[in-house]
Every structure is written in structure tokens, then in C-alpha cells.
A and B are shown apart, each in its own frame.
Chain A
Amino acid sequence: MAVSKTLSPTAVDTVPQPETLLQVFWRRYRRNTMAVIGLVLVIIFILIAIFAPWIAPYHYNDQNLRNTWQPPSAEHIFGTDDLGRDQLSRVIYAVRTAAIVGLGASALSLLIGAVIGSISGMRGGWTDTILMRLVEIFNSFPAILLAVILATNLGQSVTTIVIALAITGWAGYARLIRGQVLALKNQEYVHAARTLGASEQHVITKYVLPNILGPIAVALSFGIPYAMIAEAGLSVIGVGIRPPEPSWGNLIQLGINKMRGFPYLAIWPTLLFSLTLLAFTWFGDGLQEIFNAKGER
């Protein structure tokens, strides 16, 4: 059952156009329908985050105390809350906050993890052992609980939440980077560079980094929803981002508190939040597939 490439020793004469890397990736990615849907939704998400002020019909803190607790209507498609603020707008701005938190926290985590991981990987020996033990400890502990503790004391603004999440989420990235560094450290071309006198830092930036972009992209695509889940989780307990700044978390929290009387407050943020999470997951799965398909056309 072999698939033939040529039927005779005299090969075919046409040479296919070399594809750019991006084209290759897109072709593989395209095969997975859910991943494509995820990508579309993620793009929509990003666009909403960027253009929030132009898309939202009202400002998120536009209060109208005569119009509180309104069910969905033509004017306020998602209804209004206790201060008469339009929920649709708040959701839109929440997307923006989520983007900031998600990207910020995971990028920062990645940075911390990358530094620690690459030092650990490049140095080896005691440094490596100690750092990896630290990673193990951080991993054996549910990070979100630590983040919660941190957040209660750092305060409840977007910045502090991002920092809290970053400080507690770096362990996975560190392990990933270290693994990549170890794998590449022993490759021939790295040896060659070092014999030519390249410094450690040079080796890392020029050789290690380009090769690990793939796994990093995958890790980030899963880290972003995690950060969003963590932030929302913090809010539900009461230590997340404080209003008036809207976030998935505090919108859901308000929804929970008022579920008895005004269920519609909970429905929309919950559904859209879940949709966002699923979108990123599908996107991440799709990325994972294209980066793991080695030797496959």
C-alpha cells in the first residue's frame, strides 16, 4: 500500500513553486474546521477589543439612575444594571479589558518563564536543579489560589491583577522554554556558533528563540484563556477588577448576585465569555496541530 511519488526513474519535470512558511501553515490549519471558526472568533474578539469605544453604543460608565434594572430592550439590547449602565457596552468594554488581562498576564508570565527557563537550560548544573525544583513546587500548588492571595493585597486594578496572574503563572512557560533550550543546545549549529565565540545571550536570541516560536504560540493561545478564567474567578469571589471598569469577571459576579431577580444580567456575559474561551481553545488546538505535524505535508 505504498504511495508512489514517481513511477519511473526519470522523474517528472515540473518543479512546484516553493511555498512560504505562512502558506504551509495556513494550508494545514485550514483542515481543521473548528480551528478556523476559532480563528475567526479570535479575530472578531481582537477587533472588538481595539475598537470598543467606536462600537459600543454607550460609554461603560454612562449612568442613568432613572433607567436601572431594565430587561433587554431596543435601546439596551442586554439591559441595564443597578446604575443604569448599558450592559451591551459594558460587555464590549469587558472584551477590551479581557484582551489586556489575557495578553498582558500571559506575555508577562512568558517573559518571566522564558528568562528563568533559558537561564536554567543554558547553565545547567546546580542553577538548573534549583530552578527546576522551584518550578515543581509552583506547579504542585494550584496557581490560582496563590494568585487570589496576591490579588487581595496588590489591589484590584487591571495592572495589579495582571501582575498577580503573571507572578503565579510562569512555571509552565519556564518548563517549556527550558525544554526547548535543552533540545537546541545540543544541536550542531549551536555548537558551531559557540566555537566561533558567540556569547550565551547571542546564542539564545539568534538560535533558540526563532525555533521555539511555534510552541510558544501554542502555549500563549492556551495561557490567554487561562488568564481570563483566573481573572473572572477572582471577581466572582470578590477580589478581581473593581467596577466601574468592566471585566468578564465583575459582570458575571453581578449576574450571580442578582440571579434571582434579574437572570438576564448573568446570561449574556456568561454565554459570550464561554464562547470566547472556546474560540481560543479551538484556535490553540489548531495551532498545536500545525506545529506538531512534523514530516507531514
Chain B
Amino acid sequence: MLGLSFLIFLIKRFAMMAISLVVIISISYTLLRYAPGNYLDTQRAYQTMSTQINQNSEAYRVQRALFEERYGLNKPLYQQIWVYISKAATFKFGPSFQTPSVLIEDMVRERLPRTLIIVLLGIGLALVVGIPMGVLAGFRRNTWIDYIVTGFSMIGQVVPVYVLAIMLILIFAGRVWNILPGGGWSTPTPKPQELILPVLTLALGPIAGIARFTRNQVAETMSQEFIRTARSKGVPEQLVIMRHALRNSLIPVVTTTAPQIAYALVGSVWIESIFRIPGIGQLFATALAARDYPLMITSVVVLALGVMLANLLADILYSVLDPRIKLEA
């Protein structure tokens, strides 16, 4: 597996990722600059800064010129894009509009681990709960267990995170039954109770997706012919299940974990907003509200990078587990 072909695959893959990011960044910049009714308008940016200056006064114009100068907004678009990308390649994203004294990369560094904790815990929970659910339903096809699991999966996959968040908060942190905090994040380390609801909310969608996928895989594997071959050799049923059925059906589950991680990363934007968690998702949300463009673009880039890396990891893992699969870019 390791060796030249793997290296080539990795290089090709990273190249694709880089190109995708560059394209997305360019498109975003362009849209922000030229979208009708709104572009990198200093009026707007200015609104986030000082408060009482008369817009026609000399002082305002000077401030505005300074602002443009500092953020390079007076340069032509392609140059702005180029500057951003070349700096981003070295993980320097410059200062944000809102807090010129704080560099974005520092904000990212501080917040990223928090988002990662929630996402990883959430996906971990999803695997631990979802896979057994799916396996059980797959072996007991068309029984009431199967119907419950399938029904739950459908609901979990359709209902969006913010709705799930509301429901969980109303149930566990509401008037009737207030046993968990409805948000917040203590520093430097969060209290365990604070983690429960966000992680649970984030995990519900992936639990549903993983359970449904696993169930289908197990059901399909059990109807395959090699199961019958194993039985015809006299292999005891338990070994048939463990050695033949499970191993074959669980490998593809790796592939479904990647989209779930993507879902979780994107979902963190809403989870962190609702539960007031200071992570990357919340960074993006506040950047949006304040029209803080560098911050917006950067946090999106970070999230998108996370999604792409998750996909890459899933592909690699899958090829390791399934001897039939060879990696190709």
C-alpha cells in the first residue's frame, strides 16, 4: 500500500484540494466584491468600527482611507485574492475587520480545538451508538426493531441540527426538566455537563445516517452467497456472523463516516451559535453578522479544509481495509 503509487495519489489529491480551495476563495472574493447592492463597501465595514462620526466629514474620509489602506481594499481584486491566498498558504490570515489588533490565525488556533472536541466526540458517539443499532436492525430485518431503527434514521437524517438543538434544549434544559445547561463554555476547560447537549445534538444526525447505512450493509451481506458457503463448511453461526458477515459489512461504514464528519463540521456553525460555544463555527457566525469578510472567508476555508481532509482519510482507510480497492486520484 505504501510506496510510490500511494505518494502519487496523495500528491494528486492535495493538488485537487488546493485547487478547489483557490477556486472557492476566488469566487467568494469576487462575489463579495461585485454582488449587487453590496461589495467590500467601507460604509458597511465602517459600521463595525466607530460610532458617531459624520459620514461627510473630513475625519471620516481619512479614517476610511486608512481602513482601506490597512486591509488592502484599495488594490485591484485579483491582487487582493493573490495576497490572501499567498498569505493563507503559510497560515497567516491577517487581522479581522472587527478586531484589528488580533490576528485571525490566533483566533483560529484558540478556537479550533474546541470545535474539534465537539465534532470528534459527536462522531465517536455516533459510531458507538449507530453501528450496533444498524447491525441489530440488519440481522433482524423486518421486525419491530428494524422498523424503529429505520424510522429513527429517517427522522434523524431529515431534521436539521438547529431543530434538534431546540428540541433537546426544551426537553433537558427547559421548564419541566432542567437537568443540563443550555449552553456556555467554561474556560480554560469546559465542564462535562456543558458538553453533553451540544455533542448529543451533533451526534443525532450521524447516528441516524450510520445506523441506516450499517443496517443496509448487514442486510445485504447476509444475503450474499459466501455466507452460505461458510455455513456449508460447518462453520458455527456465531463465527459466520463475526468473521464473515460483520467484517464485510462494516468496512463500507468507513466511507459513510466522512460525510458525517462533514455534516458535523458544517453543523458546528449552528451548534456553537445556539449553545454559545466559542469555536470556529461561532467565529464564522459572528463574522457573518458583522460582515467581517476576511474572517468569514478564513473560517469557511478552515471548515472546508476539514471536510476535505475527512474525505481523504476515509478513502485511505477504506483502501487499507478492503484489499480489492486501489487508490486512484
Contact = CB atoms under 8 A, between A and B. Distances in A.
B117 interface: no
B166 interface: yes
Contacts of A152: 38, 288, 291, 296
Given A149-B296, A225-B158, A270 B266 contact: no
A146 B37 contact: no
Given A137-B24, A255-B166, A233 B274 contact: no
A154 B266 contact: no
B221 interface: no
A71 B35 CA distance: 42
A112 interface: no
B142 interface: no
B163 A252 contact: yes
A237 B285 contact: yes
B182 interface: yes
A259 B169 CA distance: 9
Contact of B158 (A255, A267, A270, A277): A277
A107 interface: no
B32 to A, nearest CB: 6
A233 B303 contact: no
Interface SS of A by simple majority: helix
Contacts of A141: 20, 24, 304, 307
A216 interface: no
A145 B274 contact: no
A273 B308 contact: no
Nearest to B175: A263
A150 B308 contact: no
B318 interface: no
Contact of B32 (A153, A259, A260, A278): A153
A233 B288 CA distance: 13
Contact of B307 (A140, A153, A239): A140
B159 interface: yes
Q: Which of A145, A238, A273 has the most CB of B within 10 A?
A: A145
A236 B163 CA distance: 10
Interface string B116-153: 00000000000000000000000000000000000000
Contacts of A84: none
Nearest to A236: B162
Interface residues of B, number: 49
Contacts of A67: none
B155 interface: yes
B36 interface: yes
A139 B211 CA distance: 24
Interface in B43-60: none
Nearest to A261: B175
Given A153-B31, A263-B170, A142 B158 contact: no
Given A155-B37, A270-B167, A277-B158, A149 B262 contact: no
A236 B166 CA distance: 11
Given A267-B170, A270-B166, A144 B35 contact: no
B270 A236 contact: yes
A174 interface: no
Interface SS of B by simple majority: helix
B273 A236 contact: yes
Q: Which of A232, A273, A274 has the most CB of B within 10 A?
A: A274
B160 A140 contact: no
A247 interface: no
A229 interface: yes
B300 interface: yes
Interface in B18-70: 19-20, 23-24, 27-28, 31-32, 35-39
Q: Which of A152, A277, A281 has the most CB of B within 10 A?
A: A152
A122 interface: no
B289 A281 contact: no
Nearest to A278: B158
Nearest to A155: B37
Interface in A43-70: none
Interface in A277-294: 277-278, 281
A237 B289 contact: yes
B31 A150 contact: yes
A150 B274 contact: no
A140 B186 CA distance: 34
A229 B162 CA distance: 10
Nearest to B296: A149
Given A145-B300, A259-B182, A252 B37 contact: no
Given A142-B262, A154-B36, A154-B37, A274 B159 contact: yes
25 contacts: A137-B20, A140-B308, A140-B311, A142-B266, A142-B304, A145-B269, A145-B284, A149-B300, A152-B38, A152-B291, A153-B39, A154-B36, A232-B162, A233-B160, A237-B285, A237-B288, A238-B289, A252-B166, A255-B166, A256-B165, A263-B175, A266-B166, A274-B155, A274-B159, A274-B163
Given A142-B265, A274-B163, 7 more contacts: A141-B304, A146-B28, A153-B37, A155-B37, A238-B288, A238-B289, A278-B154
List the 9 closest A-B pairs by CB distance, nearest first.
A153-B38, A137-B20, A153-B35, A142-B266, A236-B162, A229-B160, A237-B285, A281-B158, A277-B158
